[in-house]
Amino acid sequence: MFHLLDLAGVFVFALSGALMGVRKRLDVVGMGVLAGMTALGGGVVRDLILNVRPAAFQSVGYVLVPVAATVIVFFWHPHVARVMPAILVLDAAGLGLFCAVGTQKAMEYGLSPLHATLLGVTTAVGGGMLRDILSGEIPTLLYDRQLYAVPALVGSALMAGLYAYGLQGWPATLAAALLAFGLRIAAMRRKWRAPLARGLGD
């Protein structure tokens, strides 16, 4: 079940990457690269840090899903753009799942709770950073004005804490994912923003 949820998160992230390619007027190859980097980049970075073979290279689904997302956006990007509110909800779900799973995997490989939390955040937002860098944008992680990285950080911290106290398995992963998801949705609906330096206005 978690593998299917993981692929669902990959699909949603890939859609956002391909849409960025459309906005930047890239060809289908560029769209595919952004889709793949957005969907898989964070997990690949995590696994390389853990010195294990990236999960993205162990299943053909991790290759086919970004390709499918690219094809959908290539032909129907106006329709995909119109349903972005729904996609953002799915994106929040993917954020929660990726941060929880990334943190759990880091803990399983012996990292401290602090380092596992940081690696969980990397899993969740790393692909978006690569997407922004490749498309010439300032990475959203550097100006988290829509509280994207903060929910991932909170969810990762909960996952690390639960794991450290012996609470493992899908209930802990689900709890951490739901916390990050809920914070992200609340931030979008209530327009929460991370503060700027003192003296700077919005």
- Domain-by-domain residue ranges, the chain? 2-190
Give the pTM.
0.86
pLDDT of residue 35: 94
Indicate whether 111 pLDDT > 90.
yes
Burial class of residue 114 in the structure, from the number of CB atoms within 10 Å of its CB (0-12 exposed, 13-18 middle, 19+ buried): exposed
Would you state the structure tokens that stand for residue 13, as one six-digit string? 């992230």
- The whole-number pLDDT of residue 2 equals 64
How many residues belong to the chain? 202
CB 67 within 8 A of CB 32: yes
Q: Is 26 exposed, middle or buried (CB count within 10 Å of its CB: 0-12, 13-18, 19+)? A: middle
Token pair 């399983």: residue: 108
